[in-house]
Amino acid sequence: MISVLTLTYQRHHILEEAIHSFLLQFKEDSEMVIINDSPNSHYTFDHPQVRIFNIKERFPNISKKLEFGFQQCKYDFIYRLDDDDLLAPDALKISEQFILENPGYEIYRPKKHYFFLHNKFEKIGGNVNNGNVYTKQYVNRITFPDSSFGEDFDITYRTNARIYESDDKPTMIYRWGMSTYHVSGMGNIDTQPYRDW
């Protein structure tokens, strides 16, 4: 029922943790779709629910990378998870529950997430993407902006979407301060100073 879409770029150890959080969901009708556009990295993972697309050239921006990723997802509902974030326990079951109980929306989003700073819990926080779930029909109807900044805001709030916001438990662990720079699709930025693997 749910695809988890994750963009990545040369953050191997963090990506492994995101995959692990997905596998801990124990949900059969789900998949994780990983979009890697680092020409210097080729990822493989032998699990039927994890599909990795290794693209040989960088996308021009994060929005185009997102658009490509959404197109690869096979389920009608698509959960956005960055490679440095984690799915909370039962995240997909909680998401499925509020989708089934509230049909007819294009975006389903918790109002909050668990905020971790340097891998330590800080607070219950909120952001544009708290574990947003987009319908396939919705992402097929919108035009993606040509941008690497504010793309989550644009695809969530600037498209007249029908949004359902949930007060239930957060479904995502938002991590900050992971000693890596987030360059999933920001053009030709030198990432050497930020690598820690």
Instruction: Give pLDDT tens digits along the chain (197 positions).
Output: 999 999 999 888 899 999 999 999 999 999 999 999 999 999 999 999 999 999 999 999 999 999 999 999 999 999 999 999 999 999 999 999 999 999 999 999 999 999 999 889 999 999 999 999 999 999 999 999 999 999 999 999 999 999 999 998 999 999 987 765 544 444 444 443 333 32
- Give the model's pLDDT for residue 168: 84
Whose tokens are 């698509």? That residue is 78
Task: Measure the CA–CA gap between 6 and 99, rounded to whole angstroms.
Answer: 20
DSSP letter at 177 equals -
- Give the model's pLDDT for residue 180: 55
Task: Measure the CA–CA gap between 159 and 144, rounded to whole angstroms.
Answer: 10
Closest CA to 151 of 61, 34, 60: 61
The bridge status of strand 107-110 relative to strand 133-135 is: antiparallel
Closest CA to 138 of 161, 109, 104, 166: 161
Is 8 strand, coil or helix? strand
- DSSP for 31-98? EEEEEE--TT-------TTEEEEE-SS--SSHHHHHHHHHHH--SSEEEE--TT-EEPTTHHHHHHHH
86-92-95 Cα angle (round to 5): 110
